[in-house]
Structure 1
Amino acid sequence: MLRLSLLLIIAFVGSLASVSAEIVNFQMCDDSVDTCTIHQVEVSPCPEARLNAACQIRRRRRFTMSFNFTTHFDAERLEASLGWAKSETVELPLLSMDREACKYTACPVRSGVMQTYTTNMPADAKFPLSSYTIRWALKDPLSGKRCCFTHDIKVVR
């Protein structure tokens, strides 16, 4: 009986791993190439990532975004931003996002030290159902240097 219970617990934990965050494809922003390295980007839930497809983000539901990064600059604090990247120079920002990045990653940031930024946020009911390229950035407000990348999502019901 104890052995069966242990096997059921292991199976349950294994099933949780299958619904955990998925590694997604991303592109570095042109200006971040020399100032930052993004190692890995994860979105949860995003089973579509297994097929190299855009994550389907459901309106009125929360999703978790996490990425590992290494800055090539020092900063006492970072500001976060997220927006729809209509082009390389035009972005429509998500105004409701908490811009204080140090709530979601360790500050101060030191050059050459890898760390993780993780946030859990809602997909607003006002988001139009469509596909988007979104741009995430962590920026030093003093120097203007930033870690920046884009990836694709699809907002669905």
Structure 2
Amino acid sequence: MLRTEKMYLRLVCVAVLFLAATAEVANHEPCNDLSPDALNSCTVSQVRITPCANPKDCRLVKGTTAFIDFDFTPNFSASNLTTGLFWEIGTVDVEFGDLFQTNGCDYTACPVESGKSQVLNYSLRIGLKLPIGKFVFKWKLWNSANDKEICCFKTAVELVKRKK
């Protein structure tokens, strides 16, 4: 391995360790508006958001990027996944910008196997035009072949202005 490749590999390792050390496990709960079959089709064991100083209510600064990753175990097998992020507003799910009906295999390994735990990683740009305030993010990941096999969780976030 060349000297520059070794330095690059070390830099990447340090960056990954830094992100892992600064990531905060966020409180989350399963989505409660799914069918009984869908509720049992996946388990989300942990959600990490960087930066997130308060696991009960993560503060995300507009104009920055947040890193979201979560561990999930599907109770189904699928060759392709679809994913989407939503704002939960009452009983309505509103699509969150660019991450709506997106190829989930871009962010986690596919195919997925029933009972095999894996991680989904996503970097979320918090746009300047988004409103400030407290919101519930709802993340869905589902089998592209049907709408019945779904992973879904909710987490509270607060969008704030960047300090001047």
TM-score under structure 2 length normalisation: 0.80
| Secondary structure of 1:127's aligned partner | coil
The amino acid across from 1:118 in the alignment is: N
Contact 1:19/1:45 (<8 A) preserved:
no
Whole-angstrom distance in 2 between the partners of 1:75 and 1:29: 21
Contact 1:137/1:148 (<8 A) preserved:
yes
* Matched residue count: 141
**Residue from 30, 35, 41 that aligns with 1:35:** 41
Q: Match for residue 46 of structure 1? A: 52
More deviation in 69-78 or 26-35? 26-35
Shift of 1:95: 2.6
Is residue 95 from structure 1 mapped to residue 134 from structure 2 by the alignment? Answer: no
Unaligned ranges ≥5, structure 1:
1-11
Q: Match for residue 119 of structure 1? A: 122
Whole-angstrom distance in 1 between the partners of 2:19 and 2:81: 31
| Secondary structure of 1:108's aligned partner | coil
Q: Match for residue 105 of structure 1? A: 108
- Measured against aligned partners, the alpha-carbon deviations of 1:120-153 in whole angstroms (never above 9, x if no partner) come to 1210111100100110010112121110000000
The amino acid across from 1:58 in the alignment is: V
Q: Match for residue 146 of structure 1? A: 150
TM-score under structure 1 length normalisation: 0.83
Contact 1:139/1:146 (<8 A) preserved:
yes
Q: Percent identity?
A: 28
Shift of 1:48: 1.6
| Secondary structure of 1:128's aligned partner | coil
The amino acid across from 2:160 in the alignment is: V
Contact 1:129/1:156 (<8 A) preserved:
yes
Whole-angstrom distance in 2 between the partners of 1:84 and 1:137: 11
Shift of 1:33: 2.6
Unaligned ranges ≥5, structure 2:
1-13
Is residue 74 from structure 1 mapped to residue 77 from structure 2 by the alignment? Answer: yes
Q: Match for residue 133 of structure 2? A: 130
Contact 1:61/1:122 (<8 A) preserved:
yes
The amino acid across from 1:130 in the alignment is: G
The amino acid across from 1:48 in the alignment is: N
Is residue 61 from structure 1 mapped to residue 67 from structure 2 by the alignment? Answer: no
**Residue from 20, 28, 37 that aligns with 2:22:** 20
